[in-house]
Structure 1
């Protein structure tokens, strides 16, 4: 695989000067089977240093593509790791060099990494479909716009939203058909509150693989870095069309009022029962009002028997937390000085902020004392959400990224079972990460 600058023609006719993996945006999908060894031969043809981080996969620290493990311009290296049995799920890869991550992702560097199960409980009648969401902001001559002060405060949101590298693509299907969607939020800062009007989204999994059983809902929120798997049945009529859309979501971005030098948050008080892996049955905008992402076009074929949703998927064992070691992670921000910290400190290479022991259960209490949403991401393992603001999580699931609203206190069950070494944890709004909202845990 090679990271290379390239001029890419988008399907809307615009040309964009991007960074690419193997000349394409998104990069090539990597398919593996759990238990398999993966080797990626990487060449950096960019004018700056980069890495490849395997987001969500429990790989050894020296293969994780962390912020200091740089491949210089013109450099090469191999990434080699085993995909553990039991890790089937939807992952992705992207650059992670300190100070450069946001800019490189903004220029297009990201790709999907799909790990298949040896025995998959999801019927093959549901066609496996990747949906990688990203966004671009281009100048008139096709260059990626330089970051602004507002981008540093809030994280960059582009004015072109892409699905698998295309603007408003069309998915064709027929009545009765089923789709297994693997949705990846590969944007630097944009949140996607997804809805497909007049269709039920049967969520079957999240970052670290399948749930125990499907959860039916009308909409679903994905913070930057999060993934979701869902089954969708083609319940519409031949010749009709639906549109996958992103409904409005207030993440508390900061704006500079006219004549003021003090940024203000847009965040309004919110019912915290709305957020999380799923949005439950919260009202959607129905047939309109959202940002259109992808057309779902029904063909004219006669309806086939409806694809059946499985009742059970797999066993998900909770992490035993009796006697667990506690750790506290606190996000703070100062928008005036663009100061983003964890536990009062900015990231420092090689400094361990605390120590974890292999095989020892822990409870991480992660708190957002800022005025906007911050998605928390942990490298090297998956965790389980215990509760949010004292409210128990309704079901057990494996996660590596979780959103924190303003004031949220979320408790996570964490256990590192593989590989000693330093592991980053950070805000996954990439500008905040680059500005120092990141720490390291030493696993011993």
Structure 2
């Protein structure tokens, strides 16, 4: 038995993260710079609601899929097998890989049929939390449970930022008999709003409890994997320190009272819980007004809890400097891309589009390797849209064309009602066809999607 001494640093309670622990992917390759894993999409009966068995769509039988860990510069090999009854692909959201590994069916790779397999092989160039999900019938397949995290670590990051948690946020609806909700529930109105599940999920669990020691920082690396739900999180009398986002660390940290994540976005935040020993803090989902009816009659919901250890508050180490040198992209001479997010009126199924054209009717945009473009995305609808560009990080611009501070690399940006978003992107040497779309996946499947052909 080891007895701690007075000089032992304070620590989180034993088993503090067990309620949200993610299954690690098993690395099959012994080389230090290669991560090789097997990944299988299949239906598995899970107990999402106590006492009910739900046939969820899963990666490797769990919800979410396994946590794949790699370091910057590693080669990642994923031996994917499809045991579903439908074709699928795997898109690696936020990874700057080659187009043929991006999982965009009909453009960068063929669909993987039932019983088929595909090997994804790419190098991870950037630190940060990324994630994986399908790009065939995306709203249904992701909504049924197909999503998982990929964390790329940078050994050069400052130490002692906080005890780390990867948190995959999503939602799902389970019927009284344990079955999943009909993916087309609500018809055109469901598509217009974007279908949200009744149950909030944190790493596949409903309202889990994380143990904590008052005064000790925790580092939450969060991804919003929901098909449509915006996640806005708050803790009464607490503030968050956001140190990173989609593409890794920010230029410098910022403090905020709430964390807002549109579908597809990531956040890297520090939180130091405070309160009486033995008390519980509620981490609440706060409705976000993303358009007509989005907050009407909707109460705040407890997403998960922090239970403080029954011992005095600890004094944490001082926060080390967290800064990243990010150069602003030069917009002088940049080409322009002007897009409008649109809704087509008429009978039949709801059809959305970009510049009035549904994705299945649209011609690709064309750009050249080495080109810099300023994109202006205008929203003509009564709902916000999270706009995602595959394959490339960009920098968001303010109304005057100046970069938004603190600088950060993004791949998903919110386009508000009666407004727009502007960003600048430089196409590095990875030619091919790249998707861009609304990451409310019901909207993408309804036509709000397009392709960018980057050529040499």
Given the two structures, how large is their TM-score scaled by the length of structure 2? 0.86
Q: Structure 1 residue 336: deviation in Å?
A: 5.7
Q: Paired residue for 2:253, among 214, 220, 224?
A: 214
Paired residue for 1:271?
Answer: none
Look up the SS of the partner of 1:300 in the other structure.
coil
Q: Assess, with a 3 A threshold, how the Cα gap between structure 1 residues 327 and 10 changes in structure 2: closer, same or farther.
A: same
Paired residue for 2:90?
Answer: 52
Unpaired runs of 5+ residues, structure 1, are 253-264, 269-288
Unpaired runs of 5+ residues, structure 2, are 1-38
Kindly indicate whether residue 448 of structure 2 is the aligned counterpart of residue 437 of structure 1: yes
Q: Paired residue for 1:342, among 346, 354, 359?
A: 354
Paired residue for 1:74?
Answer: 115
Q: Paired residue for 2:229, among 190, 209, 220?
A: 190
Q: Structure 1 residue 107: deviation in Å?
A: 0.7
Q: Structure 1 residue 26: deviation in Å?
A: 0.2
Q: Assess, with a 3 A threshold, how the Cα gap between structure 1 residues 396 and 134 changes in structure 2: closer, same or farther.
A: same
Paired residue for 2:213?
Answer: 174
Kindly indicate whether residue 128 of structure 2 is the aligned counterpart of residue 118 of structure 1: no
Q: Assess, with a 3 A threshold, how the Cα gap between structure 1 residues 382 and 6 changes in structure 2: closer, same or farther.
A: same
Q: 8 Å contact 1:201–1:218 — kept in the other structure?
A: yes
Q: Assess, with a 3 A threshold, how the Cα gap between structure 1 residues 11 and 171 changes in structure 2: closer, same or farther.
A: farther
Q: 8 Å contact 1:212–1:316 — kept in the other structure?
A: yes
Paired residue for 1:16?
Answer: 54
Paired residue for 2:5?
Answer: none
Q: 8 Å contact 2:160–2:319 — kept in the other structure?
A: no
Q: Paired residue for 1:127, among 163, 176, 191?
A: 163
Taking the aligned partners of 1:427 and 1:51, their CA distance within structure 2 comes to 18
Q: 8 Å contact 1:188–1:430 — kept in the other structure?
A: yes
Cα deviation 1:97-134 (Å, max 9, x = unaligned): 1xx1111111100001111013012x335011011111
Look up the SS of the partner of 1:10 in the other structure.
coil
Q: 8 Å contact 2:386–2:415 — kept in the other structure?
A: yes
Q: 8 Å contact 1:214–1:310 — kept in the other structure?
A: no
Q: 8 Å contact 2:396–2:423 — kept in the other structure?
A: yes
Q: Assess, with a 3 A threshold, how the Cα gap between structure 1 residues 170 and 370 changes in structure 2: closer, same or farther.
A: same
Q: Structure 1 residue 145: deviation in Å?
A: 1.1
Paired residue for 1:139?
Answer: 175
Kindly indicate whether residue 397 of structure 2 is the aligned counterpart of residue 386 of structure 1: yes
Q: 8 Å contact 2:396–2:424 — kept in the other structure?
A: yes
Q: 8 Å contact 1:380–1:416 — kept in the other structure?
A: no
Paired residue for 2:124?
Answer: 83
Taking the aligned partners of 1:375 and 1:211, their CA distance within structure 2 comes to 20
Q: How many residues in Structure 1 have an aligned counterpart in Structure 2?
A: 407
Paired residue for 1:272?
Answer: none
Paired residue for 2:30?
Answer: none
Q: Assess, with a 3 A threshold, how the Cα gap between structure 1 residues 332 and 389 changes in structure 2: closer, same or farther.
A: farther
Q: Assess, with a 3 A threshold, how the Cα gap between structure 1 residues 388 and 307 changes in structure 2: closer, same or farther.
A: farther
Q: 8 Å contact 2:396–2:422 — kept in the other structure?
A: yes
Taking the aligned partners of 1:412 and 1:243, their CA distance within structure 2 comes to 35
Q: Structure 1 residue 238: deviation in Å?
A: 1.6
Greater CA drift, 72-81 or 403-412 = 403-412
Taking the aligned partners of 1:410 and 1:51, their CA distance within structure 2 comes to 29
Q: Structure 1 residue 160: deviation in Å?
A: 0.7
Q: 8 Å contact 1:173–1:297 — kept in the other structure?
A: yes
Look up the SS of the partner of 2:191 in the other structure.
helix
Paired residue for 1:285?
Answer: none
Look up the SS of the partner of 1:433 in the other structure.
helix
Look up the SS of the partner of 1:214 in the other structure.
strand
Taking the aligned partners of 1:392 and 1:107, their CA distance within structure 2 comes to 38
Q: 8 Å contact 1:7–1:17 — kept in the other structure?
A: yes
- RMSD of Structure 2 on Structure 1 (CA): 1.9
Q: Assess, with a 3 A threshold, how the Cα gap between structure 1 residues 428 and 213 changes in structure 2: closer, same or farther.
A: same
Q: Structure 1 residue 419: deviation in Å?
A: 1.1
Q: Paired residue for 2:343, among 310, 333, 352?
A: 333
Q: Structure 1 residue 356: deviation in Å?
A: 1.4
Cα deviation 1:340-395 (Å, max 9, x = unaligned): 0112211138x643211112211011111111111100001111101258786232
Cα deviation 1:126-160 (Å, max 9, x = unaligned): 01101111111122222211122132221110101
Q: 8 Å contact 2:264–2:412 — kept in the other structure?
A: yes
